[in-house]
Structure 1
Amino acid sequence: MKQAIRYLTIIVLSCIVLAACNSEEEATQQSGEKNTDTATKSANQEKSSKTSISDKDKKKIKKEVMSWLAKHEKNNDKAVSNRYFGSGSMSDGDWYAGTEGGEIQVSNKDKPGPKAFDLHTVTGAVTYISNEGITGIDKASKNLSNIEGYSTVADINKPVTKYLFADNGKVYEYTFKDSKDVTLSSGFAPKDHNEKDPNLSPNQMFKVSDNKALNDFYSELLKKY
């Protein structure tokens, strides 16, 4: 009888231990799932925040960026324009540039659409030495097209710099050594509708601007939106 009670006690204790282990495993699993869900949610929120800037806000940001550049580049005897990109009728797909942070979308026709790119422009700008001695905002650049490029407004022997203000809070730039053959589409390429771009990769790589003041200004500005 004592032996039977002993066996019964062992069985009961084993069941209790087994139940406790299963409960702990389930709790650990639920905790892991919760952490994964939190991480996924956080990643989605971060991705969402990058593409949630409205067109209305982009116009406000563009205005403030141009105002800042006009003021600071005037001291460098440079002209400033928002005519940094234009594709004309060369392609009906989305255009992009290569950056240190990945491909950045500069035009959106939903072919293939924002999800195909790592980054997206909020606005952009271009600076150059005016052939008319203009500093700050250059109103003469408003009607530029890909046909004549910047040669009608810029000193073709001086550098032309394009700036891309991305939705990750960073400013990317690329400086063309002279403006003779630089057009609105220079630095960019169209993405085909299958998210492939054979023979259409941009020849330039935009890097985070060395202009710390500009980066700091833009980073703080974007936080408002």
Structure 2
Amino acid sequence: MKQVLRCLTIIFLSCLVLSACNNEKEATQQSGKNDKATKSANQETSSEASISDQDKKEIKEEVLSWLAKHEKSNNKAVSNRYFGSGSMSDGDWYAGTEDGEIQVSDRGKPGPKAFDLHSVTGAVTYTSNEGVTGIDKAAKNLSNIEGYSAVADINKPVTKYLFADNGKVYEYAFTDSKDITLSSGFAPKDYNGKDPNLNPNQMFKVSDNKALNDFYNKLLKKYE
């Protein structure tokens, strides 16, 4: 009888050990899954998070320098005054692209998570009404009031470029320059859940300027 009890005790203790090992294995596997999920989530936001304000400033300078050099041959002026909202809204502004909505201003309302893409920098090119080519210093203090008619030949296109955090360059060419302002092509995003979103009247598309796209894509990778 004692031998039977001893055998039953050994079997019971073995079952306990085996159960503990299985629980530990499952916990380890679950922890691994959670770590992978966290890593994956971090990777999805790493591109945006890794581009600091200082990085954006440097990228902007590189982009403007490239455009100024290459647009001179097209007799075009270049400026970074591609967007401005004035006091029309205290929320985030965005543009529509063929790849989704791109955030062009971040005031935290509703914030970066509400957008598919985010603008790293931007630029505008046009034919100067003063014959300026390359960087146009006259556009430095341009406001929404006078629009691009203050610096551009209104009979020729004004093209806005958006350099996104997905490595692509988007553009839209405005042909009626007289009515084009810094806010043209953009709209404020609803963030209070009450007012309907205003939709931009234009759709930015990936620029067909392959050299510009290649340049920007390589440039952005240095900061990722």
Between the aligned partners of 2:199 and 2:125, the Cα distance in structure 1 is 24
Q: What letter corresponds to residue 224 of structure 1 in structure 2?
A: K
SS at match of 1:70: helix
Q: Partner amino acid for 2:210?
A: K
Could you say if the C-alpha distance between residues 157 and 196 of structure 1 is closer, same or farther in structure 2, counting changes exceeding 3 Å? farther
State the partner residue of 2:204: 206
C-alpha root-mean-square deviation of aligned residues, in Å? 2.5
Q: Number of aligned residue pairs: give it.
A: 208
In structure 2, runs of 5+ residues without a counterpart are: 1-17
Q: Sort the Cα spacing of 1:197 and 1:32 in 2 relative to 1 into closer, same or farther, 3 A.
A: farther
Is 1:169 matched up with 2:167?
Answer: yes
**TM-superposed deviation, 1:49:** 1.9
Written as runs of structure 1 = structure 2, the 5 A alignment for 1:126-141 is 126-141=124-139
Q: Taking structure 1 as reference, are residues 137 and 195 closer, same or farther at Cα in structure 2, changes over 3 Å only?
A: farther
1:78 to 63, 76, 84: 76
Distance 2:194 2:98 in 1: 19
Q: CA deviation at 1:32?
A: 9.1
Q: Deviations for 1:128-166, whole angstroms, at most 9, x for unmatched residues? A: 011111110000001110011000110101111000001
* 1:168 alignment partner AA: N
Asked whether the 8 Å contact 1:84–1:124 carries over to 2, the reply is yes
Question: Quick one: percent identity of the two aligned structures?
Answer: 81
Within 5 Å, which residues of 2 pair with 1:42-121? Answer: 42-121=40-119
Q: What is the Cα deviation at residue 35 of structure 1?
A: 6.2
Deviates more, 1:168-177 or 1:198-207: 198-207
- If the length of structure 1 is used for normalisation, what is the TM-score? 0.82
Q: 1:162 touches 1:175 (CA, 8 Å); kept in 2?
A: yes
Change (3 A) 1:32 1:211: farther
Contact 1:162 1:174 (C-alpha < 8 Å) held by counterparts: yes
Contact 1:191 1:197 in 2 (8 A): no
* Matched AA of 1:144: L
Aligned partner of residue 187 in structure 1, secondary structure: coil
Deviation at 1:198, TM superposition (A): 2.0
Aligned-partner SS, 2:214: helix
Q: CA–CA distance in 2 between the matches of 1:45 and 1:166?
A: 17
CA deviations over 1:7-58 (Å, ceiling 9, x no partner): xxxxxxxxxxxx9xxx8xx989987985685366224313232232111111
Q: How has the CA–CA distance of structure 1 residues 124 and 42 changed in structure 2, closer, same or farther, with 3 Å as cutoff?
A: same
1:86-139: per-residue Cα shift (whole Å, max 9, x none)? 000000001011111211111111111111111111110000011111110000
Q: Comparing 145-154 with 51-60, which one deviates more in the overlay?
A: 51-60
Distance 2:195 2:139 in 1: 30
Contact 2:188–2:197 (Cα < 8 Å) also in 1: no
